[in-house]
Structure 1
Amino acid sequence: MGARGENEKDPAALGSVTKKVMRYAKQPILIAKNVSMLSNMLVCIDGSEHAISALKYGIQLAEKMGADITLLNVLEKRMFEYAPDIVRDVSKKILSKAVESIGETKLKINERLEVGVPSNVIVEVAEEGNYDLIIMGSKGLGKVKRFLFGSVSEDVSHKAKCSVLNSACKSLTGIQQSSVHP
């Protein structure tokens, strides 16, 4: 779906309909911004079932498109400052489990750890790396925390210059051949 409707005044704003669809969709939602061939994808991994499901969907998409994938785990700055070694070890395990969940593939897969505010870091990494698509699970926070602080996936979808695929699914079926055209 498009990032915003024609009636939205701020070109950078995420439309109200798009936000609502993201919150309640039970299928992956692609927020299309700059539509191009997908050759470089950033997959955000936080260890949640939704993130692993989004990763598996991203792998299928990348295999069909011949794209490279970078797995990104962002360490919360305040947690990292409190216990850097423990947090770094947990983050490495999260990335290792993500790679393990992929299984055999011919894709080029890179891993990356960063420290900071997750939504800001994801957008910065996407821009610096000229990624065509950010793939992430749309659920990760508890309901109360999301209400108070907002959703990382909504914030990324709003700020990112590239397209964003948000998945609220814990398990995904394969990509239909007709749904992806390289």
Structure 2
Amino acid sequence: MAADFSKILVAVDESAHAEKAFRHAMAIAQKFGSKVTVVHVMSAPAAGGGMGHFPVQEAVRTAVESADGLAQKFSALAKQEFGLAVETRTAKGAIADEILKAASSEHATLIVMGSRGLTGIKELMLGSVSSAVVHKSKVPVLTVK
């Protein structure tokens, strides 16, 4: 059975692992003529103790602006370095679950993601998001170090 790389979903954040994963996905897309969707999942901002009044609306606005900037960054990289257009989407919620939902709704045949990302305290659990996606995915997952 031949591998099907026709629809690639790339999960990104602001980490170096995510950018490497994106570059791998784009190289695969160039070789196989794949459609690529880039997804960024915004997790809820964490309120720290001792902060007093936590400006939730401002934190959400900042997260949305950051997500929009990330989408623009990867879209521009795809065009400039690989000569390809990508679709971008942003989701909110539990990161692994949202990546899997996006893969399902996009009918992805391959998920590409960094082995570790910027998930705050969860990073101590070395790749908890990528591990969850690998274990729950119905399609192949390429994790990039």
Question: Fold conserved (TM > 0.5)?
Answer: yes
* 1:98 Cα deviation after fit: 1.9
* 1:44 Cα deviation after fit: 0.6
Write out the 4+ residue segments of structure 1 that deviate beyond 6 Å after TM superposition.
none
Query: Contact conserved, 1:55 with 1:136, CA < 8 A, in 2?
Result: yes
Answer yes or no: is 1:87 the counterpart of 2:63: yes
Residue 54 (structure 1) aligned to one of 10, 21, 30: 21
The TM-score, its normalising length taken from structure 2, stands at 0.81
Gaps of 5+ in 2: 47-55
Aligned to 2:96: 119
Change (3 A) 1:150 1:101: closer
Query: Contact conserved, 1:68 with 1:107, CA < 8 A, in 2?
Result: no
Change (3 A) 1:67 1:150: closer
Gaps of 5+ in 1: 1-33, 169-182
Query: Contact conserved, 2:110 with 2:142, CA < 8 A, in 1?
Result: yes
Aligned to 2:136: 159
* 1:88 Cα deviation after fit: 0.2
2:140 and 2:57 map into 1 onto residues whose CA distance is 32
Identity of aligned residues (%): 29
1:77 aligned counterpart, secondary structure: coil
Which residue identity lines up with residue 72 of structure 1 in the other structure?
A: V
Which residue identity lines up with residue 96 of structure 1 in the other structure?
A: Q
Query: Contact conserved, 1:44 with 1:135, CA < 8 A, in 2?
Result: yes
The TM-score, its normalising length taken from structure 1, stands at 0.66
Query: Contact conserved, 2:42 with 2:92, CA < 8 A, in 1?
Result: yes
Aligned to 2:33: 66
Query: Contact conserved, 1:46 with 1:94, CA < 8 A, in 2?
Result: yes
